[in-house]
Structures are given as C-alpha cells and as structure tokens.
Structure 1
Amino acid sequence: MKIIAYNVLPFEEEHFLNAKQSYNLEQLTTIDQPLTMENVNLAKGFDAVNVLAHSQINAEILNTLHDFGIKHLSTRTIGYDHINVETAHSLGISISNAHYPPYNVAEFTVMIMLMLIRKIKVSICRALVNDFSLDGLQGKELRSMTVGIIGTGKIGQSVIEILSGFGCKILAYNKTPISHVETYAEYVDLDTLLKQSDIISLHIPLTEENHHLINKETIKKMKKNVLLINTSRGGLINSEDLIDGLESEWIGGAGLDTLEEETGISHFDIGTRIINKRPLFYLKQFPNVIFTQHYAFFTEEATNAMVRSGLEGLMLGLEGKENPYLIV
C-alpha cells in the first residue's frame, strides 16, 4: 500500500512517522507543498493521495490522478470544500475527510466569546503601552446573555454543553433537531435565533445553500450590539456586509478564526509581501474584532487524529472495507 501526502507541515511529521510504523505501510511519502498541477506527477505510482485544505483539488488535478490510476483521495480536514466532489464522483474517485474530537474548536469558540464580552483585545493593547485605565473596558457576564448556536453537529453540541455551565440562555438552530441537545438548549427557527441572540456562533459546513448566510439582510434581523463568532468556514459570512455592520455599530464585535479572504494568508508568514486582501486586513484593525489564523482546531490531540483518520480513510478504501470517513 503506497500513499503520498501533500502539504505536510512540520508539526505533522512526527505523527506521520508514528502512523507509518503503527499501520505498517509499505510506503508513505510526505511532500511539504500543496498538491498542484506542477507537482501532481509526484503522485504517479502511488495507490492513494492525502492532502490539506491548501490543496485546491480541481477537475484538472482529479483527471490527472484518475489517469494515474488513483481512486482514493483524502483530506486531513473536516471540511472538504477545497475538493471538486462532483468531478471526483464522476471519475469514480472516493473522497474521505478527517474526524477529530470536537472539544478543540468548541473550547476555542467559548474562549473567543469571553474575550469579546470582556474586551480583552483592547485591554492587552493598552497594557503593552502601559495604559492601565478602565475607560471603555466594562464588560458583561455570559450568564446574563442569550447565545445562539447555528448548527448542532458535534462541534455545535460541544459548544452548547460547555456554555450550559455558564448559566446563559442557549438557542439552537439546525435543520434536524437533536433530542439530547434540548437538555441544554431551545431549538428555534433561524429568524428567532437572529432576533433574540446577544451572541451568534456558526457551526455549519459551507455549502451553496448557506454561502454568505450572514449578510446585510440577516444582519438587519439581529439585535443591536450582537457579537458574531465564526470558527467554521469563512464563506458563511459576507465580509463587506460584516464591515458595514461594524462601522454602523449595529454589530458589537466579531470573533473570526476564519474569513473568506484567508486563502494564501492563514497558516503563512506573509512578511512584507503586498497582499490584495482588503476585507481581511481592514477587519482585523477593529478594536472589537478578534481575528485569528484559522487555528481553533490546532491542538496536539487533533493533529494526531487528523493525520491518522486521513490515512485510515485511504487504507479502508484500498482494502474495500466499510469507511466511516467516506464523503464520495
């Protein structure tokens, strides 16, 4: 069984080495660059391919892999919007994603909520220049707020469970309500959640249907001074409409671990390069916006799980066994 993994980052290398030994793989080759048409030929002679989200797997790449006889591709991410799944399906290439426990993103999400309501960004910036004044730093207590969770999959459920310990009112929206979630949260329709929530947190995958779910129309339905949290997918929010909401002070703040404009930015040191990502750089300058480099997932436990599940999805596919990671 021969597997090639692209875009392997330094912090993943040890996990790949351990996985190769524990799975007794015949060959596991790692490449530090994303998969592109310029390096796709490196996959020739392998049985399966593993990638990260920096690899934009388009129809051209998939056709080339198909020509090489490769029928199994996996991503070391939960999201798979960087892969043209329709083309993969038409070519008979199976696509698997990664699974990891939801606690990393859930804990990060609640942390960002607390940082926003206590205005930590402003406090830290002031302290760096020896300004220890309290003006403008008065915050709120989470227990007195209503938090709306859009999406109650594994991560959304974990966020709700953590929040339940703070004593806040929790509203939830999901296409299909999940019974045990109702122990902690009240399911409502989307409009009700938008209108009643002091904090709104997104925990849904990015699809054509919910692309720019947060836009000028949905923002109008929200409470004044609402706080928005996105640790899911950048494309869920229209950045320009978010900027308008912040400038008009209708939106009270935002915690953004991901943005639509992050491609080529997140996970890279861009140094002094000129980057045409105006919404991203404008958003991060707001005192009431916390922007992080798409690393809510980034724990030792999650990294190991991402590597192993990415490889397991390929191995199960090659062995013709039931594959819980299978998307296509």
Structure 2
Amino acid sequence: MKLAVFSAKPYDKVYLTQAAELAPDTGSNIEIIYHEFVLSSETVSLAAGASAVCVFVNDTLTEDVLTSLHSLGVRAILLRCAGYNNVDLKTASQLGLFVANVPAYSPEAVAEFAVALVQTLNRNTHRAYNRVREANFALDGLLGRTLHGKTVGIIGTGKIGVAFARIMQGFGCELLAHDPFPNPEFKKYGEYTTLENLLSRADVVSLHCPLLPPTRHIINESTLGMMKKNAMLVNTSRGGLIDTKAVIAALKKQQLGGLALDVYEHESAFFYNDHSGTIIEDDDLMRLTTFHNVLVCGHQAFFTEEALGEIAGATIRNLTDFVHGRECQNSLVQLTKEQGAAPITRGRSDTIPIRI
C-alpha cells in the first residue's frame, strides 16, 4: 500500500510515520511518500503509483483533480482534518472513491486557542508584550473589559463549540448558541436562540461551524449590522464563514470592537508557509493586519502534540479500514457493491447543522 501525503510539513512526517509503524494490522505494509506541495491540478501527477492520498485543508480536490487521481489508480482520499469543503463529494461518489476525514481530534485544543484569542484581544497582551520589550510600561491604550458577566454567543455547537462553552462558563459568562440541530451537551451551559438574537446580545461571538453553502459568509454586512456595537468576533473554524470586505468595513466604522482570526477565506495562498521575504499581494489580508484591534494567526488552533497524535492515528485507522474493506465510521462517501457509491448525509437534507 503506497500512500501519497500532500501539504506535508515536518511534524506531519513525524506523527504519520509513527502512527503507521504502530498500526497493528497494516503497519509495515504502508509505504508513505511525502510531498510538500498542495494537491492541485498542477501537482496531481505526483500521486502516480499510490493507492491512497492524504490531504489537508488547503489541498484542492475538485472534479478534475479527483478524476485524475482515479485515472492514476488512487482509490482512497484521507483527510487529516475535520472540514471537507475542499472535496467534491458528488464526483468522489460517482467515481467510487473512499473518502474519510478526522471529525473529532482534541476539540479542547481548538477551544482553548479560541479562548486565548479572546483573552489576548480583550486585554491587549500582544501590545503589552511589544511595549515592554521597548521599555514602555505605560498602560494607556491597553484597557480591557472583565469577561465575568459578559454574554458570549457560539455559532455551531459540536464538540469544539461545547468545549468552548465549558471554558467560558468557567469565566462566569452567560452563554447563547445558535445551531439548527441543538446539542444536548450544550444545554448544560447555556441556551439556544435565533442568530439575530444572539448577535444583538453577545459581547463576544465565536464561530465553530463548518464551511458549507448555508454557512458561507454567515458573517456578512447584514449580520455584522445586527451585532452589538463594540462586540468581539472570533473565528477558529473556516475563513469562508466571514465576508472579509464586510468585516473590514465594520472595523473602519467602529461597529466591530475587535476581530481575532485563525483562518482567512483566501488563506490557501499563504498559510503554512513562510512568505516573510516576499510581497503579499492580498490587499484585504494586509489591511486586516493594520488594525490595532485585529489578531490574525496562521490556522494553528489545532496545533498541539495531542491533536497531531490523534489526527495521525485516526488517519491511519481510516486507511486500514479501507485496506481491509471494513466499515469506516469516518466515511464521507458510502460504498456498496449493490448501489455503488453515495455521499453520506449524516442526517442532513436542506438544513445543515452548523457545527464541528
């Protein structure tokens, strides 16, 4: 079994290699080839000779890429992430490709990072750090707000959203949530409400939903106008949930009090690589970095030792399920001998649960 891994970083090599070596029923039979390049129509030929490919959030698996993979002999797509908006599942279904993701890996890692962004942006610790390094100990401009007693709105109440709620309840916050499919676990910490009511009441709004057609630009000019003036917006999920131009306008009008991003809707051209010696031509991204009340990180919320271990382990387990023809609980496309392949809806029809 040859596995081609795209968008591979040094840490991917360490954790995936270790997970493959520890796999009880496949293990030494997996030959892993690592490619630093993203998977795209230009690089798909690198998958030649592989039976499976492993991809990440910024790899592109459109109809033409999937068709090319199939013609090269690839039969399995392994996503080492939860989101799958970058995969054309309909085409994968028609081609009979096995597709599986890692739906739950250390949700606390992402939730904790979201809280870190809230705390940093609220108390200006990033600015204080830079000031002190220049022997400036003045407090002017560093004024924050006490989180205790504030209202926090959570859009999407899957495992990460609930983990975030659990932490914020510990701060003494009132919690509101919006999700078409309420999660009983969240009801321990707060109450569900409409999106409009959540936005109008929340001092902090945190996004924890996948990027799907119903959630693309869920934060836009209209919904930003519903938000409480000077509220803080945090996104550790997917960049396309936010209309960047609309959020820049809200910041300029001082409607939005602060913005913390670990993701960006056009991040694939920049994130996970060093561009410090080049000119960034994305004017919206560069404009965001000029605001004193905006934090932009490079999609690192998942980046903990525990999460990387869980991702690698689940990815290899998905592969071994494919190799041995076993049912895979993480499958995104269901394969049957009688009916061929069909996308797994997981209970969704026209209404998409906005959670991860």
Q: TM-score, normalised by structure 2?
A: 0.88
- Please name the residue that 1:209 is paired with: 214
* Residue matched to 1:287: 292
Does the 8 A contact of 1:147 with 1:169 survive in 2?
yes
Q: Which residue, 109, 130, 133 being the options, matches 1:128? A: 133
What are the residue-to-residue correspondences of 1:217-228 with 2, within 5 Å?
217-228=222-233
- CA RMSD in angstroms comes to 1.5
The aligned residue for residue 350 of structure 2 is none
Show the 5 A alignment for 1:1-328: 1-23=1-23, 24-26=27-29, 27-98=31-102, 99-328=104-333
Secondary structure class of the residue paired with 2:22: helix
Distance 2:8 2:84 in 1: 17
In terms of mean alpha carbon deviation, does 294-303 or 44-53 score higher?
44-53
Which shows bigger deviation, 16-25 or 38-47? 38-47
How far has the Cα of 1:86 moved from its partner?
1.9
Distance 1:60 1:106 in 2: 35
Structure-2 separation of matches of 1:321 and 1:63: 24
Once the two structures are superposed, what CA deviation does each residue of 1:193-232 show, in whole Å capped at 9, x if it has no partner? 0110000000000011111111110011111001000000
Q: Secondary structure at the match of 1:260?
A: coil
- Secondary structure of the equivalent of 1:179? coil
SS at match of 1:201: strand
SS of equivalent to 1:263: helix
Deviations 1:58-80 (A, max 9, x none): 22221111112322111111111
Summarize deviations over 1:251-294 as a string: whole Å, max 9, x none.
00011101112122111111232222111111112111111111
8 Å contact from structure 2 (residues 20, 316) kept in 1:
no
Match for 1:20: what amino acid? Answer: A
**Percentage of matched positions with identical amino acids:** 36
Give ranges in structure 2 of 5+ residues lacking alignment: 334-356
* Corresponding letter in the other structure for 1:276: E
* Number of residue pairs aligned between Structure 1 and Structure 2: 328
Q: Which of 160-169 and 304-313 deviates more?
A: 304-313
Distance in 2, Cα, partners of 1:77 & 1:68: 24
- Tell me, in whole angstroms, the C-alpha distance in 2 between the residues paired with 1:179 and 1:55: 34
Distance 1:65 1:97 in 2: 18
Any conservation in 1 of the 2:16–2:316 contact (CA below 8 Å)? no
1:319 Cα deviation from its structure 2 partner:
1.6
- My pick for the range that moved more, 246-255 or 298-307, is 298-307
Secondary structure of the corresponding residue to residue 228 of structure 1:
strand
Equivalent position amino acid for 1:211 in 2: R
Contact 1:317 1:323 in 2 (8 A): yes
The unaligned stretches of length 5 or more in structure 1 are none
- How far is 1:308 from its partner? 2.0
- Higher mean Cα deviation, 69-78 or 238-247? 69-78
Contact 1:4 1:28 survives alignment (8 Å): yes
1:73 counterpart SS class: strand
Amino acid at match of 2:280: I
